[in-house]
Structure 1
Amino acid sequence: MVGTTLGDVRRLPREVAIVVGLISGSQFVNHMYLVLLPPILTILSDEFEVSLALLGIALGVQALTNTVFQLPFGYLADHYDRTIALAVSSFLGAIGVLVVAISPSFGWLVVGQAIIGIGVAGHHPAHYPLLTDATPDSIRGRAFSVYNFGGMLGFAAPPVIITAIITFPDLTWRHAIGTVGIVGIVYAVVVTAVFARSLGREITGPNVTDTDQADGILDRVRAELRSLVADSEILIVAVLALVAATANWALSSYTVVFLTETYEIPLEQANLTLTGLFLTGSVGVLASGSLTDRFSPAPVMLVSFVGLTVLVGVIASSLAPAIVAIGLFLAVGAVRSLEGPARDTLTERLSGDGTVGKSFAVVTIGIMLGSTIAPPVFGYLIDQFGVQAAFFAVGAVAAIATAVTVMIALRIDAISDLEPIPLD
C-alpha cells in the first residue's frame, strides 16, 4: 500500500511531481520548527530556570501566532499568489528559529517562538491550494499522504538532530537549533526560486476573479465572515481538528517527559522514542492516503481516534514494562496519523470554488488552537498532578475526538455523500 502510493507519485507529470515533492519538503522543514523544544524541555527548564508550565506557554505562543495569521495568509494565497505566501512564511519561520537559537533569556525564547508561529502560519494556506490545483482527483488522497509523510519525517528529525549535535563536546542545543534555522533559510531560497521558474499561473495564481478583488477591505471582511459562517461543515471539521490537535500536541510535547519521569529512561533513549513515534506516523499517513482514496474519509478518521483513545489509556496506566511502553508509543504514532490525510481529503471536497486556501486555513486554525491549548494546560497538569494523570487526560480528549467523528459521520449529509473517487 505504501509502495503503491509512492509509485503513483513518481509516475506523475514533471510539473505535478515538482509541486508534490517540494511542497512535501517544505512541510518537512515546517514541521521541524514545531518540535524543536520538546526534546530539550528539561534542559531549557534548568538553563532558564522556568517550569514546564511556562515552557508550555512558550510552545503555546508559537501556536497562537500561527492561529492568528492563518486567515491573512489564506487570503493572500487565494486572492494573490501562493508562491509569495509560501516564500514569506518560509523565510519568517527560519528567522524565528535563529532567534530561538541565540535567545539570551526566556523572554527572547518566547519572541523567537512567536516569529516561528507567524512563519509557519503561511504554509498550509499555500501548500493545500498548490497540491489541489496540481494533482488529479483520482490520486489526491495519496498526494496528501505523501505530503503528510514529509511532515511526519520533519517531526521525527529534531530529536535525532539535537541529540546527535549536543553529544559533541562544546556543542549545545543552540548549535543544534541554529543548524535547523540555516537549513530552513536554504530551503526557502530553493523552493521560491524553483516555483517562480517552473510553475504556471494556473497553479500559483489566485482562485478568485478580479471582481472579487475589487471590493473594499470592509466588504471583503464581511464577505469572508459570512462565507465562514455559511461553511458549517468546514467549521465542524475545524472543531474536530482542534480536539485532535489538543491530544496530539500533548503527546508530542510530553512523551519525553513521560518516559524519563515514569520509567526513568535516559533522555537520549526517550528522544529516540519520540523520533520513532513520528517515523511510524510517516508510515501511517502513507497508508491513510490509499485507504482514504479507496473508502471514504470518515471511517478512516474513526479508526484513528478509537485506536488513539485505547492506546493512550493503556500507556497512562503505566502498567506495562518500559520496553512495552515504548512499543505502545510507536503504535500511537502510526494510529494517530491515519487521521491526517483523511481529514485533508474531507476538507478539500467540502471546499467551494475559490475557497480551498481559506478552508484549510480555518481547519488549521482548529489545529493551532489545539496546539496553543495543549502545551501549557498539560504542562500545568504535570506540574500539579503528575505526568500519569496528564496522560489519562490526553486519553479523555482522544475519546472526545472519537465522539465528534461519529457526529460528523452521522449528521452531516454532505460528508456522508462523499464516496471514494474511482481509482485509475
Structure 2
Amino acid sequence: MVDIPAATAHPPEASANRTLTAISIAHWVSHFHIFVLPMLFPFLKDRLGVSYIDLGFALTTFAVVSGLTQAPIGFLVDRVGARIILILGVMLGGAALVALGLFLNYPTLIICAGLLGLANSVYHPADYAILAAHMDESRMGRAFSIHTFAGFVGGAVAPPMMVALLASAGGQGALIVAGGIGIAIALMLIVVGIPDAGAIQSSGTKGDAPKVSVMTPAIMMLTVFFTLLALSQGGINSFGIVALMNGYGVTLSSANIALTSFLAASAAGVLAGGWLADRTVHHSRVAAVCFTVNAAIIGAIAAFALPAPAIVIAMTVAGFLGGVITPSRDMLVRQAAPPGAAGRAFGIVSTGFNFSGIVSPIMFGWFMDHALPHWVFGASACFMLATVLLAMVSERKPKPAIA
C-alpha cells in the first residue's frame, strides 16, 4: 500500500487549523456528491430512457451500500489508518462520477451509485477519527461543528452548481466536472499532508491494531440515539412541505419558506452548538434540553392549527435547536469510544443514519398515503422524546484525550 506523507512540522495551532480546513473540505465534497445524481435525474431519465423508479433504485443502491459498509470501514480506519482511507474514499467517489460521465448507461449508473455509497461510508469514521486525535481539547466541539457545517454547505450549493454545469457543459460534462472536483480534493489532501489517526497511530506500532471491543452498551445506545435523531428530522426534511400543504392549508410558498428556515437555522445552530459543546462536559444534557423543547414545538405544530407565520417561526426555532445538539452528539461518541477505536465507534453509530434513511421514507410516506399529514410532525415529536430519554443514559464520564 502506498504510504502517503504525513504533515511536516508546523506550529500546533497552525497545524490544527490546516487539518480542520482540509477535513472540512473533504466533508463538503461528500455532501456535494450525495446530491449530484438527484439533481441530474431529469437529464438521466431522458438520456437513458428509464423510469423514476429505475432512478430511485440507484439511490437505494447508494443507501444500502453505504449502510452495510459504514461499520467495516470504521474497523479499517482503526486498523490501517484514517488518512489513506479518507483519501482513497474521496478519490473513489470522484472517479465513479467521471466514469459515469464517460460511459453513460443504466448499468454504469447502478455501479456508480454503489461506488458512491462505498465512498460515502468513509467520511464519518475517517474524518472524526482524525479530528478527535488532532484537535485541541478546548475547541473540539467547535471543530466538530465546523466540519458538520461544511457538509451542510456542500449540500446547499449542489443544486445551483449542478444546474449551472448542466447548462454550460451538458449532463455528461456535469458528471465529469463533479467527479473531477472530488479527485482534485483528494490530491489536495495529499499535498496538504493531513495527519493520520487510528489504532496503529495511537500504539506507535506497525503491527496489528489493539484488540479493543467497541460493542459496548454506550456505543449500542448511541447507535439507537443516532437512528432516533435521524428519524425525528427525516420526516420533516422529506415530507414537511407536502404535510403542511395537505394538512394545514399552507400554500406552497409558505411551506417552502418554513422548510428553508428550518434547514438554514439548523446550519446556524450547528456553529452555535460547537461553541456550547466546548463550554460543557454535560453533552447529554444539552441534547436532552434542546430536544425536549423541540418535541414541544413540533408537537404543537402537530396538535394545533397554527397560522403560517407561527409555523415558520416554530420551524426556525426547532431547526436551530436541532443544529445545536449536533456537536454535542459527536462529543458523546468521542467520549464513548475506547482508545484507538474512534473510527470504529463513529462507523458503527453512523449506521443509525443509514437505517433511518431506509425506514423514514416508508413510514412517513405511509402517513401521507393514508391522509395523516399531522403525524409527520407527531411522529417526529415522539422520536424526539425517545431521543431525550436515550441522551440521558448515553453519556460516559469524559476521559482524557489520547495523545
Query: What TM-score does the superposition give when structure 2 sets the normalisation length?
Result: 0.79
1:190 aligns with 2:175: no
Deviates more, 1:18-27 or 1:271-280: 271-280
Q: Secondary structure at the match of 1:343?
A: helix
Distance 2:75 2:229 in 1: 25
1:136 has 2:133 as partner: no
Q: What residue in structure 1 maps to residue 337 of structure 2?
A: 351
Distance 1:119 1:29 in 2: 11
Given that 2:257 and 2:312 are in contact with CA atoms closer than 8 Å, whether structure 1 keeps it comes out as no
Q: Given the alignment, which residue of 253, 257, 267 partners 1:282? A: 267
Spell out the pairing of 1:6-405 with structure 2 (5 A cutoff): 13-35=13-35, 49-50=51-52, 59-96=59-96, 111-161=111-161, 180-195=178-193, 199=194, 206-208=201-203, 210=205, 213=208, 227-229=213-215, 231-258=216-243, 263-265=250-252, 274-295=259-280, 296-316=282-302, 319-385=305-371, 387-405=373-391
Q: 1:49 to 1:79 in 2, by over 3 A?
A: closer
| Aligned equivalents of 1:153, 1:180: Cα separation in 2 | 15
The alpha-carbon distance between structure 1 residues 98 and 242, as it changes in their structure 2 partners (threshold 3 A), is farther
Distance 1:212 1:228 in 2: 19
Q: Does the C-alpha gap of structure 1 residues 375 and 33 become closer, same or farther in structure 2, counting only changes over 3 Å?
A: farther
Write the deviation string for residues 318-369 of structure 1: whole angstroms up to 9, x where unpaired.
7234444344333332111122110111211222221111111111122322
How far 1:403 moved relative to its partner?
2.2
Q: Aligned with 1:319: secondary structure?
A: coil
Contact 1:285–1:341 (8 Å) recurs in 2: yes
* Structure 1 counterpart of 2:4: none
1:250 partner amino acid: G
The alpha-carbon distance between structure 1 residues 142 and 233, as it changes in their structure 2 partners (threshold 3 A), is same
For residue 206 of structure 1, report the CA deviation from its aligned partner: 3.1
Residues 315 and 44 from structure 1, CA distance in 2 versus in 1: closer, same or farther, beyond 3 angstroms?
farther
Q: What are structure 2's unaligned runs of at least 5 residues?
A: 1-10
Answer yes or no: is the 8 Å Cα contact 2:78–2:199 preserved in 1: no
Higher mean Cα deviation, 123-132 or 180-189?
180-189
The answer on whether the counterparts of 2:266 and 2:321 sit within 8 Å (CA) in structure 1 is yes
Change (3 A) 1:32 1:200: closer
CA RMSD of aligned residues (A): 3.9
Instruction: Give CA deviations for 1:177-219 in whole Å, capped at 9, x if unaligned.
Output: 7654443333233223322xxx4557996334547518xxxxx
Distance in 1 between residues matched to 2:242 and 2:42, nearest whole Å: 8
| Aligned 8 A contact 1:78 1:207 in 2 | no
**8 Å Cα contact 2:82/2:130 also seen in 1:** yes
Distance 1:191 1:210, change over 3 A: closer
Helix, strand or coil at the partner of 1:69: helix
Distance 1:86 1:205 in 2: 16
Give the total of aligned pairs. Answer: 385
- Looking at structure 1, the residues matched to 355 and 291 of structure 2 have their Cα atoms a distance apart, in angstroms, of 19
Larger mean Cα displacement after TM superposition, 77-86 or 63-72: 63-72
What is the rounded CA distance, in whole Å, between the counterparts of 1:50 and 1:58 in structure 2? 10
**TM-score, normalised by the number of residues in structure 1:** 0.75
Contact 1:57 1:376 in 2 (8 A): no
Change in CA separation of 1:325 and 1:405 when aligned onto 2, cut-off 3 Å: same
Residues 131-186 of structure 1, C-alpha deviations (whole Å, 9 max, x = no match) = 122112121112112212212222333345457778x6x99888777654443333
Q: Provide closer, same or farther for how the CA distance between residues 396 and 59 of structure 1 changes in structure 2, counting only shifts above 3 A.
A: farther
- Measure, in 1, the Cα distance between the counterparts of 2:182 and 2:31: 11
User: Residues of 2 paired with 1:254 and 1:56: CA distance?
Assistant: 17
SS at structure 2 position matched to 1:294: coil
Q: CA deviation at 1:376?
A: 3.4
Query: Aligned partners of 2:376 and 2:97: how far apart in 1?
Result: 29
Partners of 1:385 and 1:340 in 2: CA distance: 32
Task: Give 1:237 deviation, angstroms.
Answer: 1.3
Say if 1:152 and 1:281, in contact at 8 Å, map to a contact too: no
**3-state secondary structure, aligned to 1:353:** coil
2: CA distance between counterparts of 1:14 and 1:190? 17
**In 2: Cα distance, 1:203 partner to 1:355 partner:** 7
After superposition, the Cα gap between the structure-2 partners of 1:247 and 1:200, relative to the gap in structure 1 and judged at 3 Å, is: closer
Deviation at residue 123 of structure 1 after TM alignment: 0.7
- Report SS of the residue matched to 1:206: helix
Name the SS for the 1:359 alignment partner.
helix
Q: 1:24 to 1:184 in 2, by over 3 A?
A: same
Partner amino acid, structure 1, of 2:187: V
Assess if the C-alpha contact under 8 Å between 1:86 and 1:192 holds in 2.
no
TM-superposed deviation, 1:293: 1.9
* Cα distance in 1 between the residues matched to 2:200 and 2:290: 35
Q: How far apart, in 2, do the equivalents of 1:259 and 1:65 lie? A: 33
